[in-house]
Homo-oligomer: A and B are copies of this chain.
Amino acid sequence: MPRVVVNVMPKPEILDPQGKAVTGALRRLGFDGMSVRQGKRFEIEVDGELTPELLARIEEAAETLLANTVIESFDVVAD
């Protein structure tokens, strides 16, 4: 089945407390010099063929439901 990936990340200007927590935890475990931002990854399996219309529909779904576009950016990648 064709698969589409939607990546949702906090916008660069938005504070990312989860990412900050992970960065701090990594440092405490000895992993220095890394700065982490945490987002979400959605793997979407679609029925049938992946047409440009369907891809546009998934973009719409990402914008409507998967990302909060006030604070998050997203990209859609046919996989």
Q: Taking beta carbons and an 8 Å cutoff, which residues of A are in contact with B?
A: 7-9, 19, 22, 25-26, 29, 31, 33-48, 57-58, 60-61, 64-66
B38 and A38 contacting across the interface, CB-CB below 8 Å: no
B22 and A42 contacting across the interface, CB-CB below 8 Å: yes
Known: A31-B57, A33-B48; 15 extra A-B contacts, CB below 8 A, are: A7-B41, A8-B41, A9-B41, A22-B65, A31-B61, A31-B65, A33-B47, A34-B47, A36-B42, A38-B41, A38-B42, A38-B43, A39-B41, A39-B43, A40-B40
Task: Report the Cα distance A76→B35, complex, angstroms.
Answer: 15
8 contacts between A and B (CB under 8 A): A19-B42, A35-B45, A36-B42, A36-B43, A36-B45, A37-B43, A40-B40, A40-B41
